[in-house]
Amino acid sequence: MSSAPTTPPSAPAWQRLLAAVGEPVVNILVILSGIVQMGALTFYYLLRGRKRWDVVFEQMYEMGNRSVVFIAFTLGFLGMILIYQAGFQAMRITGDLQLLGALFLQLLLREFAPTITALMIATRSGTGMAAQLGSMVVTEQVDALRMCAAQPVEYLVVPRFIASVVTTLCLTIFAVLVSYSAGAATAYFSFDLNPRTFVDFGFVGWFDIAIGLSKALAYGMAIPIISCYAGLNVHGGSEGVGQATTRAVVYASLAVVILDFIISGLGFVVLLFI
């Protein structure tokens, strides 16, 4: 059954316009408030609660080991595509490929490796976390935890949070190695560029490494908080679980993009004053 409209059809046009604009804004504010509360509870129990290290290692295996091949293929092909396109354009314009590897490594550290890796983790692991917790809500396992005086955030979210932070950092470093190696191979076989010329660290400084690791750390914290929030707020049975997985990947992907913009902007501002 469809819900009743917020404003009657006979209401003035400006009232209907305000209702149409205000409802999404209110929904966004409610979602942001819930995510902030989930994050605050996660940090609280992370600092003061008990750590279930067996679950942490299990989640690290699920999120890390089982994502290695996925990340390798994605970042490897991305590296090949970027080097081929950049090298082809450089050959048409200048014909000089000496700085191709140095520029690619800088861009890889700052942007592509942490961001693309986080999007892949949100797609694969974020949906899994939302589905697991949503199924526990539907089957009343979360209510059983509360009846046993166990906090769901401490029991379910904190282990996933720790595992996500560690695996996102590790997978980002792995993604840099795989993508750069694939790019070097592409440059050699496509443009006959010597790997010794391609492997150039001249444009990479502490700032690039700090920005990349900061992004990976922020993504690793945001993805489990958002995904677990979506999973713990399931309503409507199995259909609600499916909707929760969709919300988890959408919200987490948006968070990755927004954090990417914020951290990049703050990093360049800091660089101006150094």
| Whether the Cβ atoms of residue 121 and residue 164 lie closer than 8 Å to each other | yes
| Whether the Cβ atoms of residue 114 and residue 172 lie closer than 8 Å to each other | yes
| Whether the Cβ atoms of residue 228 and residue 126 lie closer than 8 Å to each other | no
Give the pair of three-digit tokens for residue 115: 């961001």
Q: What is the pLDDT of residue 25?
A: 76
| Whether the Cβ atoms of residue 116 and residue 172 lie closer than 8 Å to each other | no
Question: Phi/psi of residue 77, each to 5°?
Answer: -70, -35
- Which stretches in the chain have pLDDT values below 70? 1-22, 274
Concatenated DSSP letters of 73-89:
HHHHHHHHHHHHHHHHH
Q: What is the pLDDT of residue 3?
A: 44
Spans of all domains in the chain: 50-272
Q: What is the pLDDT of residue 273?
A: 76
Concatenated DSSP letters of 38-78:
HHHHHHHHHHHS---HHHHHHHHHHHTGGGHHHHHHHHHHH
Measured between alpha carbons, how far is 144 from 199 in angstroms, rounded to an integer? 56
Q: What is the pLDDT of residue 57?
A: 92
Measured between alpha carbons, how far is 242 from 245 in angstroms, rounded to an integer? 5
Q: Can you give the pTM of this predicted structure?
A: 0.87
- Chain CA centroid to CA 258, Å: 10
Closest CA to 253 of 208, 228, 222: 222
pLDDT for 54-69, tens place per residue? 889 999 998 888 889 9
**R_g of the chain, CA atoms, integer Å:** 23
Measured between alpha carbons, how far is 193 from 97 in angstroms, rounded to an integer? 7
CB atoms within 10 A of CB 10: 7
Q: What is the pLDDT of residue 74?
A: 92
Q: What is the pLDDT of residue 52?
A: 84
SS3 for 138-185, per residue?
HCCHHHHHHHCCCCHHHHHHHHHHHHHHHHHHHHHHHHHHHHHHHHHH
Q: What is the pLDDT of residue 15?
A: 62
Measured between alpha carbons, how far is 253 from 154 in angstroms, rounded to an integer? 24
